[in-house]
Chains A and B, each alone.
Chain A
Amino acid sequence: AQSVTQLDSQVPVFEEAPVELRCNYSSSVSVYLFWYVQYPNQGLQLLLKYLSGSTLVESINGFEAEFNKSQTSFHFRKPSVHISDTAEYFCAVSPLSGTYKYIFGTGTRLKVLA
């Protein structure tokens, strides 16, 4: 079985400051890792995914996340946030085989302040 822990329920940060959202997971098997974002009254949008290879995954929007197998973590970072980044961020894991069932964390609400 898998579990995901997002320790920070809320993260306030000033505009143009850097941010890190933490995600730790527990699993007895190898997993895929994902970060999704949810804006108010919308569904989840995929931001980043780690499947294999380089442990640092990056997006064209300036987000990145780093997989650390020894610490079972997949922390999300952005060097400079904007007001529009205000949203709920979810970390999820999925086993590499079987039903590929997603297990989500409880989410971190990022609030960017002017």
Chain B
Amino acid sequence: EAGVAQSPRYKIIEKRQSVAFWCNPISGHATLYWYQQILGQGPKLLIQFQNNGVVDDSQLPKDRFSAERLKGVDSTLKIQPAKLEDSAVYLCASSSRAEGTDTQYFGPGTRLTVL
């Protein structure tokens, strides 16, 4: 079974530029998550989708971050404009309630550096 795929793996941009990350979850997983992991910290949930609907986006900085999950499969996370403090690893995860729990499976992440 293929895992969670993310691209790109690394991205370097100047502040005030825009950037987008892509995630393809495990096939059949209805729930998709985006996390921000700042160096030295644990992952922090940015947004959670159930199919193509948003379940929780309470910690998403909506003035600059946006995310969508069209057709309930792939998802993109966008930052516009980027700030220095957005430098972090952005992790995508997916889960399936069919397993009887909500174990989350993570992709390799995208490391963003904002200069």
Contacts and interface: CB of A to CB of B under 8 A. Distances in A.
A104 B42 contact: yes
Nearest to B111: A41
Interface centre among B93, B102, B109 (most CB of A within 10 A): B102
A90 B89 CA distance: 15
Interface string A35-56: 0100001111110010100000
Contacts of A42: 108-109
Contacts of B56: 99, 101
Contacts of A92: 42
Contacts of A32: 101-102
B101 A43 contact: no
Contacts, number: 55
A63 B41 CA distance: 23
A106 B40 contact: yes
Interface size class on chain A is 20 to 34
Contacts of B48: 99, 101
Given A43-B109, A46-B105, A49-B101, A100 B95 contact: yes
A22 to B, nearest CB: 15
Contact of B41 (A45, A100, A102, A107): A107
B50 to A, nearest CB: 8
Contact of A45 (B31, B102, B106): B106
Find the residue from B31, B43, B91, B106 having the highest chain A CB count within 10 A: B43
Contacts of B55: 99
A107 B45 contact: no
A104 B91 CA distance: 13
Interface string A1-16: 0001000000000000
Given A36-B106, A43-B106, A44-B93, 6 more contacts: A43-B91, A46-B104, A46-B105, A92-B42, A99-B55, A106-B41
Interface of B: 4, 6, 31, 33, 40-45, 48, 55-56, 91, 93, 95, 100-109, 111
